[in-house]
Amino acid sequence: MKQPSHRQGDKQLGRLGDKRALSRGQGGLVEISPPLPHSCTDAITCVSTPLRCFLLLPITLLLVMGLTACGGQKPTDSKSANSGSSSKNSDSNLTFFNVDLEQADEVGRPVWRVKANQAKYTKEKQIGQAENPYAELYQDGQVVYQVKADVADIDQNGKQLLLKGKIIATDPRNGIVLQGNELEWRPKEDLLIVRNQLNGTHEQLQAVAQEARVKTREQRIDFSGGVIANSSDPQMQMRTEHLIWQIKQDKLIADRPVQFDRYKDNLISDRGRGDSAEFNLKTKIATLNKNAQVELLEPSMQIASNSMTWNLNAETVKTNAPVRVFHRAENVLVTANKAEMKIAQKTVYLTGNVNAIGQRRQAIKSNTLTWYLENKLIEAQGNVVYRQVDPPLTFNGDKAVGNLQTENIAVSGGNTSGGRVVTEIIPQDPGVKN
Protein backbone atom coordinates (compact mmCIF):
# COMPACT_ATOMS: atom_id res chain seq x y z
CA MET A 1 0.00 0.00 0.00
CA LYS A 2 1.42 3.39 -1.04
CA GLN A 3 1.63 6.34 1.30
CA PRO A 4 -1.10 9.03 1.07
CA SER A 5 -0.47 11.44 -1.75
CA HIS A 6 -2.10 14.85 -2.36
CA ARG A 7 -2.66 16.25 -5.85
CA GLN A 8 -3.73 19.83 -6.55
CA GLY A 9 -4.31 21.40 -9.96
CA ASP A 10 -4.22 18.09 -11.84
CA LYS A 11 -6.35 18.36 -14.93
CA GLN A 12 -7.07 14.68 -14.95
CA LEU A 13 -7.22 12.59 -11.81
CA GLY A 14 -8.90 9.62 -13.46
CA ARG A 15 -8.03 8.13 -16.84
CA LEU A 16 -9.64 5.37 -18.80
CA GLY A 17 -7.51 2.28 -18.44
CA ASP A 18 -5.58 3.65 -15.44
CA LYS A 19 -5.36 1.06 -12.70
CA ARG A 20 -5.49 3.54 -9.84
CA ALA A 21 -8.32 5.08 -7.82
CA LEU A 22 -8.51 7.92 -5.31
CA SER A 23 -10.58 7.98 -2.15
CA ARG A 24 -10.65 10.25 0.86
CA GLY A 25 -9.64 8.65 4.11
CA GLN A 26 -8.89 10.19 7.47
CA GLY A 27 -5.47 11.24 6.26
CA GLY A 28 -6.59 12.94 3.03
CA LEU A 29 -6.58 11.68 -0.55
CA VAL A 30 -5.33 8.12 -0.68
CA GLU A 31 -4.05 6.39 -3.80
CA ILE A 32 -5.09 2.75 -4.07
CA SER A 33 -3.04 0.48 -6.36
CA PRO A 34 -4.54 -2.73 -7.73
CA PRO A 35 -5.15 -5.42 -7.03
CA LEU A 36 -7.58 -4.02 -4.46
CA PRO A 37 -8.91 -6.60 -1.99
CA HIS A 38 -12.67 -7.05 -1.75
CA SER A 39 -12.55 -5.88 1.84
CA CYS A 40 -10.80 -2.65 2.73
CA THR A 41 -10.44 -3.26 6.42
CA ASP A 42 -6.69 -3.85 6.04
CA ALA A 43 -6.08 -0.91 3.74
CA ILE A 44 -8.00 2.29 4.58
CA THR A 45 -11.15 3.40 6.39
CA CYS A 46 -13.86 4.28 3.83
CA VAL A 47 -16.95 4.34 6.05
CA SER A 48 -16.19 7.08 8.55
CA THR A 49 -15.38 9.73 5.95
CA PRO A 50 -17.52 10.75 2.91
CA LEU A 51 -16.15 9.51 -0.38
CA ARG A 52 -15.06 12.07 -2.94
CA CYS A 53 -14.65 11.43 -6.67
CA PHE A 54 -12.71 14.00 -8.66
CA LEU A 55 -14.08 13.84 -12.19
CA LEU A 56 -12.02 16.38 -14.04
CA LEU A 57 -12.63 14.11 -17.03
CA PRO A 58 -15.11 11.18 -17.28
CA ILE A 59 -15.27 8.91 -14.26
CA THR A 60 -13.32 5.69 -14.64
CA LEU A 61 -14.93 2.39 -14.05
CA LEU A 62 -12.06 1.34 -11.81
CA LEU A 63 -12.71 4.31 -9.52
CA VAL A 64 -16.29 3.28 -8.89
CA MET A 65 -15.27 -0.34 -8.45
CA GLY A 66 -12.90 0.79 -5.75
CA LEU A 67 -15.65 2.78 -4.06
CA THR A 68 -18.01 -0.17 -4.10
CA ALA A 69 -15.36 -2.43 -2.68
CA CYS A 70 -14.88 0.00 0.17
CA GLY A 71 -18.53 -0.36 1.06
CA GLY A 72 -17.78 -3.71 2.67
CA GLN A 73 -18.95 -6.07 -0.08
CA LYS A 74 -18.21 -9.71 0.78
CA PRO A 75 -15.72 -11.59 -1.43
CA THR A 76 -17.05 -14.23 -3.76
CA ASP A 77 -15.51 -17.53 -4.79
CA SER A 78 -13.54 -16.93 -7.96
CA LYS A 79 -14.26 -20.50 -9.03
CA SER A 80 -18.02 -20.03 -8.75
CA ALA A 81 -19.96 -20.33 -11.97
CA ASN A 82 -21.84 -17.09 -11.18
CA SER A 83 -18.78 -15.01 -10.42
CA GLY A 84 -18.48 -13.62 -13.96
CA SER A 85 -22.13 -12.55 -14.09
CA SER A 86 -22.02 -11.03 -10.60
CA SER A 87 -18.91 -9.02 -11.41
CA LYS A 88 -20.46 -7.72 -14.61
CA ASN A 89 -23.59 -6.49 -12.81
CA SER A 90 -21.46 -4.89 -10.11
CA ASP A 91 -19.41 -3.05 -12.69
CA SER A 92 -22.39 -1.67 -14.60
CA ASN A 93 -24.80 -0.82 -11.80
CA LEU A 94 -23.42 0.31 -8.45
CA THR A 95 -24.53 2.64 -5.64
CA PHE A 96 -22.28 4.93 -3.60
CA PHE A 97 -22.78 7.78 -1.13
CA ASN A 98 -21.68 11.38 -0.44
CA VAL A 99 -20.25 11.93 -3.91
CA ASP A 100 -18.58 15.02 -5.40
CA LEU A 101 -18.22 15.27 -9.18
CA GLU A 102 -15.97 17.95 -10.60
CA GLN A 103 -15.01 19.18 -14.08
CA ALA A 104 -12.31 21.72 -14.94
CA ASP A 105 -11.37 23.63 -18.09
CA GLU A 106 -8.00 23.65 -19.88
CA VAL A 107 -6.40 25.99 -17.36
CA GLY A 108 -7.72 24.13 -14.32
CA ARG A 109 -10.64 26.39 -13.44
CA PRO A 110 -13.84 24.59 -12.41
CA VAL A 111 -16.73 24.59 -14.86
CA TRP A 112 -19.07 22.55 -12.64
CA ARG A 113 -19.26 20.74 -9.35
CA VAL A 114 -22.00 18.32 -8.38
CA LYS A 115 -22.63 16.90 -4.92
CA ALA A 116 -25.11 14.11 -4.18
CA ASN A 117 -26.10 12.19 -1.06
CA GLN A 118 -26.41 9.03 -3.10
CA ALA A 119 -25.74 8.10 -6.72
CA LYS A 120 -26.22 5.01 -8.85
CA TYR A 121 -23.40 4.29 -11.24
CA THR A 122 -23.82 2.78 -14.67
CA LYS A 123 -20.93 1.95 -16.96
CA GLU A 124 -22.63 3.41 -20.00
CA LYS A 125 -23.58 6.79 -18.44
CA GLN A 126 -20.67 6.92 -15.96
CA ILE A 127 -23.07 8.43 -13.37
CA GLY A 128 -26.75 7.58 -13.41
CA GLN A 129 -29.45 8.72 -11.04
CA ALA A 130 -28.50 10.91 -8.07
CA GLU A 131 -30.61 11.78 -5.06
CA ASN A 132 -30.77 15.38 -3.78
CA PRO A 133 -27.98 16.64 -6.06
CA TYR A 134 -26.59 20.15 -5.66
CA ALA A 135 -24.55 21.67 -8.49
CA GLU A 136 -22.52 24.82 -8.96
CA LEU A 137 -21.97 26.02 -12.52
CA TYR A 138 -18.93 28.21 -13.17
CA GLN A 139 -17.98 30.72 -15.84
CA ASP A 140 -14.50 32.28 -15.79
CA GLY A 141 -13.95 30.73 -12.37
CA GLN A 142 -17.06 32.37 -10.85
CA VAL A 143 -20.32 30.72 -9.82
CA VAL A 144 -23.05 31.77 -12.26
CA TYR A 145 -25.80 29.32 -11.26
CA GLN A 146 -26.59 27.16 -8.25
CA VAL A 147 -28.76 24.15 -9.05
CA LYS A 148 -30.84 21.92 -6.77
CA ALA A 149 -32.99 18.90 -7.56
CA ASP A 150 -34.91 16.21 -5.69
CA VAL A 151 -33.81 13.47 -8.04
CA ALA A 152 -31.75 13.91 -11.20
CA ASP A 153 -30.14 11.88 -13.93
CA ILE A 154 -26.55 13.11 -14.27
CA ASP A 155 -24.76 12.72 -17.59
CA GLN A 156 -21.38 14.37 -18.13
CA ASN A 157 -18.86 13.88 -20.90
CA GLY A 158 -16.34 16.61 -20.15
CA LYS A 159 -17.99 19.15 -22.51
CA GLN A 160 -21.50 19.48 -21.12
CA LEU A 161 -23.49 18.57 -18.05
CA LEU A 162 -27.07 17.29 -18.27
CA LEU A 163 -29.41 17.12 -15.29
CA LYS A 164 -32.92 15.68 -15.46
CA GLY A 165 -35.55 15.80 -12.77
CA LYS A 166 -37.10 18.63 -10.75
CA ILE A 167 -34.59 21.40 -11.43
CA ILE A 168 -34.25 24.69 -9.52
CA ALA A 169 -31.45 26.90 -10.88
CA THR A 170 -30.63 30.21 -9.16
CA ASP A 171 -28.37 33.01 -10.40
CA PRO A 172 -26.71 34.37 -7.21
CA ARG A 173 -25.81 37.63 -9.00
CA ASN A 174 -29.35 38.82 -9.67
CA GLY A 175 -31.72 36.42 -7.89
CA ILE A 176 -33.31 34.94 -11.02
CA VAL A 177 -34.71 31.43 -10.44
CA LEU A 178 -35.36 29.03 -13.33
CA GLN A 179 -37.34 25.85 -12.75
CA GLY A 180 -37.86 22.99 -15.17
CA ASN A 181 -37.39 19.28 -15.67
CA GLU A 182 -34.19 19.35 -17.69
CA LEU A 183 -30.99 21.41 -17.49
CA GLU A 184 -28.05 21.44 -19.87
CA TRP A 185 -24.82 23.33 -19.20
CA ARG A 186 -22.41 24.02 -22.08
CA PRO A 187 -19.60 26.08 -20.53
CA LYS A 188 -17.57 26.48 -23.75
CA GLU A 189 -20.60 28.00 -25.46
CA ASP A 190 -21.46 30.12 -22.40
CA LEU A 191 -24.92 28.55 -22.61
CA LEU A 192 -27.31 27.24 -19.96
CA ILE A 193 -30.52 25.64 -21.21
CA VAL A 194 -33.53 24.92 -18.99
CA ARG A 195 -36.53 23.27 -20.64
CA ASN A 196 -39.63 21.17 -20.08
CA GLN A 197 -42.26 23.05 -18.04
CA LEU A 198 -40.03 26.09 -17.62
CA ASN A 199 -40.95 28.66 -14.98
CA GLY A 200 -38.79 31.72 -14.29
CA THR A 201 -39.22 34.05 -11.32
CA HIS A 202 -37.68 37.37 -10.29
CA GLU A 203 -38.81 40.39 -8.30
CA GLN A 204 -39.41 42.23 -11.59
CA LEU A 205 -40.80 39.43 -13.73
CA GLN A 206 -42.38 35.97 -13.78
CA ALA A 207 -42.33 33.96 -17.01
CA VAL A 208 -43.40 30.58 -18.34
CA ALA A 209 -42.22 29.08 -21.65
CA GLN A 210 -41.11 25.86 -23.24
CA GLU A 211 -37.41 26.71 -22.99
CA ALA A 212 -34.96 29.28 -21.66
CA ARG A 213 -31.45 29.79 -23.04
CA VAL A 214 -29.16 31.77 -20.76
CA LYS A 215 -26.02 33.57 -21.84
CA THR A 216 -24.33 33.85 -18.46
CA ARG A 217 -21.60 36.37 -19.33
CA GLU A 218 -23.94 39.00 -20.76
CA GLN A 219 -26.80 37.99 -18.43
CA ARG A 220 -29.32 37.47 -21.19
CA ILE A 221 -32.20 34.99 -21.27
CA ASP A 222 -34.05 33.93 -24.43
CA PHE A 223 -37.50 32.52 -23.67
CA SER A 224 -39.15 30.60 -26.51
CA GLY A 225 -42.36 28.68 -27.12
CA GLY A 226 -45.65 29.99 -25.73
CA VAL A 227 -44.01 32.72 -23.66
CA ILE A 228 -46.15 34.43 -21.01
CA ALA A 229 -44.36 37.08 -18.94
CA ASN A 230 -45.97 38.95 -16.04
CA SER A 231 -44.82 42.15 -14.39
CA SER A 232 -46.32 43.06 -11.03
CA ASP A 233 -45.58 46.80 -10.90
CA PRO A 234 -47.51 47.85 -12.87
CA GLN A 235 -49.61 44.74 -13.38
CA MET A 236 -48.92 43.76 -17.00
CA GLN A 237 -48.72 40.59 -19.10
CA MET A 238 -46.81 39.95 -22.35
CA ARG A 239 -47.55 37.04 -24.69
CA THR A 240 -45.31 36.06 -27.60
CA GLU A 241 -43.33 33.16 -29.08
CA HIS A 242 -39.87 34.59 -28.40
CA LEU A 243 -38.84 37.02 -25.69
CA ILE A 244 -35.33 38.29 -24.91
CA TRP A 245 -34.59 39.48 -21.37
CA GLN A 246 -31.54 41.74 -21.15
CA ILE A 247 -31.14 41.57 -17.40
CA LYS A 248 -28.52 44.29 -16.88
CA GLN A 249 -30.41 46.73 -19.11
CA ASP A 250 -33.82 45.92 -17.53
CA LYS A 251 -35.26 45.34 -21.01
CA LEU A 252 -37.64 42.83 -22.56
CA ILE A 253 -37.45 42.52 -26.36
CA ALA A 254 -40.01 40.67 -28.47
CA ASP A 255 -38.82 40.20 -32.06
CA ARG A 256 -42.07 38.50 -33.06
CA PRO A 257 -45.75 39.51 -32.77
CA VAL A 258 -46.53 40.33 -29.15
CA GLN A 259 -49.56 41.34 -27.10
CA PHE A 260 -49.63 43.39 -23.89
CA ASP A 261 -52.44 43.31 -21.34
CA ARG A 262 -52.55 46.04 -18.71
CA TYR A 263 -54.50 45.22 -15.54
CA LYS A 264 -56.21 47.32 -12.89
CA ASP A 265 -57.73 45.57 -9.90
CA ASN A 266 -57.03 42.27 -11.65
CA LEU A 267 -59.16 43.29 -14.66
CA ILE A 268 -57.84 44.16 -18.13
CA SER A 269 -58.01 47.93 -18.67
CA ASP A 270 -55.87 48.43 -21.79
CA ARG A 271 -54.31 46.26 -24.48
CA GLY A 272 -51.40 46.75 -26.86
CA ARG A 273 -49.89 44.76 -29.71
CA GLY A 274 -47.30 44.98 -32.44
CA ASP A 275 -45.19 42.89 -34.78
CA SER A 276 -42.28 43.59 -32.43
CA ALA A 277 -41.85 45.47 -29.17
CA GLU A 278 -39.51 46.49 -26.39
CA PHE A 279 -40.47 46.97 -22.75
CA ASN A 280 -38.30 48.76 -20.19
CA LEU A 281 -38.84 47.16 -16.79
CA LYS A 282 -37.37 50.21 -15.05
CA THR A 283 -39.24 53.05 -16.77
CA LYS A 284 -42.35 50.91 -17.55
CA ILE A 285 -42.41 52.16 -21.15
CA ALA A 286 -43.40 49.85 -24.00
CA THR A 287 -42.31 50.66 -27.56
CA LEU A 288 -44.53 48.98 -30.16
CA ASN A 289 -43.42 48.68 -33.78
CA LYS A 290 -45.15 47.88 -37.08
CA ASN A 291 -48.88 47.28 -37.02
CA ALA A 292 -48.87 48.68 -33.50
CA GLN A 293 -52.16 49.17 -31.66
CA VAL A 294 -53.30 50.25 -28.22
CA GLU A 295 -56.90 49.54 -27.28
CA LEU A 296 -58.60 51.21 -24.32
CA LEU A 297 -61.65 49.75 -22.66
CA GLU A 298 -62.73 52.99 -21.01
CA PRO A 299 -63.31 54.95 -23.13
CA SER A 300 -63.61 52.35 -25.87
CA MET A 301 -60.92 53.52 -28.29
CA GLN A 302 -58.22 52.23 -30.59
CA ILE A 303 -54.95 53.96 -31.48
CA ALA A 304 -53.04 52.49 -34.43
CA SER A 305 -49.67 53.38 -35.94
CA ASN A 306 -46.44 51.76 -37.11
CA SER A 307 -44.52 53.10 -34.12
CA MET A 308 -45.69 54.23 -30.70
CA THR A 309 -44.59 54.41 -27.07
CA TRP A 310 -46.90 53.42 -24.24
CA ASN A 311 -45.96 54.68 -20.79
CA LEU A 312 -47.81 52.43 -18.37
CA ASN A 313 -46.95 54.50 -15.27
CA ALA A 314 -47.78 57.91 -16.78
CA GLU A 315 -50.69 56.39 -18.72
CA THR A 316 -49.80 58.05 -22.00
CA VAL A 317 -49.58 56.83 -25.59
CA LYS A 318 -47.36 58.74 -28.05
CA THR A 319 -46.66 58.30 -31.74
CA ASN A 320 -44.45 60.29 -34.09
CA ALA A 321 -45.65 58.35 -37.13
CA PRO A 322 -48.98 58.65 -38.98
CA VAL A 323 -51.71 57.65 -36.57
CA ARG A 324 -55.33 56.55 -36.64
CA VAL A 325 -57.59 57.12 -33.60
CA PHE A 326 -61.03 55.51 -33.56
CA HIS A 327 -63.75 56.10 -30.96
CA ARG A 328 -66.04 53.10 -31.13
CA ALA A 329 -68.96 54.43 -29.09
CA GLU A 330 -69.26 57.66 -31.09
CA ASN A 331 -68.06 56.17 -34.39
CA VAL A 332 -65.58 59.01 -34.90
CA LEU A 333 -62.30 58.48 -36.76
CA VAL A 334 -59.38 60.92 -36.60
CA THR A 335 -56.12 60.66 -38.54
CA ALA A 336 -52.98 62.80 -38.18
CA ASN A 337 -49.21 62.81 -38.60
CA LYS A 338 -48.65 62.23 -34.89
CA ALA A 339 -50.59 62.11 -31.66
CA GLU A 340 -50.41 61.90 -27.89
CA MET A 341 -53.14 60.56 -25.65
CA LYS A 342 -53.35 61.12 -21.91
CA ILE A 343 -55.43 58.19 -20.79
CA ALA A 344 -56.23 59.37 -17.28
CA GLN A 345 -57.33 62.83 -18.52
CA LYS A 346 -59.16 61.25 -21.51
CA THR A 347 -57.62 63.78 -23.85
CA VAL A 348 -56.04 63.29 -27.29
CA TYR A 349 -53.67 65.81 -28.95
CA LEU A 350 -53.24 65.42 -32.72
CA THR A 351 -50.79 67.32 -34.94
CA GLY A 352 -50.26 67.65 -38.71
CA ASN A 353 -52.82 66.99 -41.45
CA VAL A 354 -55.58 66.33 -38.96
CA ASN A 355 -58.75 64.91 -40.47
CA ALA A 356 -61.72 63.99 -38.25
CA ILE A 357 -64.79 62.23 -39.67
CA GLY A 358 -68.12 61.61 -37.88
CA GLN A 359 -70.65 58.87 -38.48
CA ARG A 360 -72.75 61.08 -40.81
CA ARG A 361 -69.67 61.93 -42.86
CA GLN A 362 -69.32 65.37 -41.27
CA ALA A 363 -65.62 66.24 -41.29
CA ILE A 364 -63.16 68.77 -39.98
CA LYS A 365 -59.60 69.37 -41.16
CA SER A 366 -56.97 71.43 -39.36
CA ASN A 367 -53.29 71.71 -38.46
CA THR A 368 -53.89 70.64 -34.86
CA LEU A 369 -56.80 69.21 -32.91
CA THR A 370 -57.44 68.62 -29.23
CA TRP A 371 -60.08 66.02 -28.45
CA TYR A 372 -61.67 66.13 -24.99
CA LEU A 373 -63.31 62.72 -24.76
CA GLU A 374 -65.07 63.28 -21.45
CA ASN A 375 -66.90 66.38 -22.70
CA LYS A 376 -67.22 65.13 -26.31
CA LEU A 377 -65.60 68.38 -27.37
CA ILE A 378 -63.06 69.12 -30.10
CA GLU A 379 -60.91 72.19 -30.56
CA ALA A 380 -59.28 72.57 -33.98
CA GLN A 381 -56.75 75.25 -34.94
CA GLY A 382 -54.96 76.33 -38.10
CA ASN A 383 -56.46 76.24 -41.60
CA VAL A 384 -59.72 74.86 -40.35
CA VAL A 385 -62.19 73.47 -42.86
CA TYR A 386 -65.52 72.09 -41.62
CA ARG A 387 -67.92 70.25 -43.92
CA GLN A 388 -71.24 68.58 -43.36
CA VAL A 389 -73.54 66.69 -45.69
CA ASP A 390 -77.03 67.48 -44.39
CA PRO A 391 -77.55 70.33 -44.90
CA PRO A 392 -74.54 70.56 -47.21
CA LEU A 393 -72.27 73.44 -46.21
CA THR A 394 -68.61 74.31 -45.58
CA PHE A 395 -66.95 76.64 -43.06
CA ASN A 396 -63.38 77.94 -43.35
CA GLY A 397 -61.57 79.67 -40.51
CA ASP A 398 -58.66 79.55 -38.12
CA LYS A 399 -60.37 77.90 -35.18
CA ALA A 400 -63.31 75.61 -34.56
CA VAL A 401 -64.84 74.42 -31.30
CA GLY A 402 -67.78 72.12 -30.75
CA ASN A 403 -69.25 68.65 -30.81
CA LEU A 404 -68.51 66.89 -34.09
CA GLN A 405 -71.00 64.11 -33.39
CA THR A 406 -73.98 66.49 -32.96
CA GLU A 407 -72.65 68.80 -35.72
CA ASN A 408 -72.67 71.70 -33.30
CA ILE A 409 -69.49 73.45 -34.46
CA ALA A 410 -68.54 77.12 -34.04
CA VAL A 411 -65.91 78.30 -36.52
CA SER A 412 -64.10 81.58 -35.91
CA GLY A 413 -61.56 83.60 -37.89
CA GLY A 414 -58.09 84.77 -36.98
CA ASN A 415 -55.20 86.88 -38.11
CA THR A 416 -54.79 85.05 -41.40
CA SER A 417 -58.39 85.64 -42.47
CA GLY A 418 -58.86 89.10 -40.95
CA GLY A 419 -61.21 87.75 -38.33
CA ARG A 420 -63.68 86.58 -40.95
CA VAL A 421 -65.30 83.22 -41.35
CA VAL A 422 -65.98 82.05 -44.87
CA THR A 423 -69.18 80.06 -45.22
CA GLU A 424 -70.03 78.12 -48.32
CA ILE A 425 -73.58 76.85 -48.76
CA ILE A 426 -73.95 74.12 -51.33
CA PRO A 427 -77.47 74.05 -52.83
CA GLN A 428 -79.11 70.69 -53.22
CA ASP A 429 -79.96 69.22 -56.60
CA PRO A 430 -83.74 69.74 -57.10
CA GLY A 431 -84.00 66.17 -58.28
CA VAL A 432 -82.63 64.84 -55.00
CA LYS A 433 -85.20 64.25 -52.30
CA ASN A 434 -84.46 63.96 -48.61
Contact at 8 Å (CB) between 195 and 208?
A: no
pLDDT at 214: 97
Residue 161: pLDDT band with limits 50, 70, 90: confident
Among the residue ranges 118-127, 276-285, 333-342, the one predicted with the least confidence is 118-127
- Give residue limits of the domains in the chain: 1-201, 322-434
Same fold, 1-201 and 322-434: yes
pLDDT at 85: 45
How buried is 380 (Cβ within 10 angstroms: 0-12 exposed, 13-18 middle, 19+ buried)? buried
**354-395 pLDDT, tens per residue?**
999 988 888 999 999 999 998 889 999 999 999 888 778 888
pLDDT at 26: 33
Which pTM value belongs to this model?
0.73
pLDDT more than 70, % of the chain: 72
Higher pLDDT residue, 393 or 215?
215
- At residue 399, the 3 state secondary structure works out as strand
Phi, psi of 258 (to 5 degrees): -140, 150
DSSP single-letter state for residue 84: H
Whether 21 has a pLDDT exceeding 60, the answer reads: no
Which of the listed CATH numbers 3.40.50.300, 3.10.20.30, 2.60.450.10, 2.60.130.10 matches domain 322-434? 2.60.450.10
What does pLDDT average to over the chain? Answer: 77
pLDDT at 291: 94
CA 206, CA 168: separation in Å to the nearest integer?
15
CATH class of 1-201: mainly beta
CA 211, CA 15: separation in Å to the nearest integer?
35
CA 184, CA 174: separation in Å to the nearest integer?
20
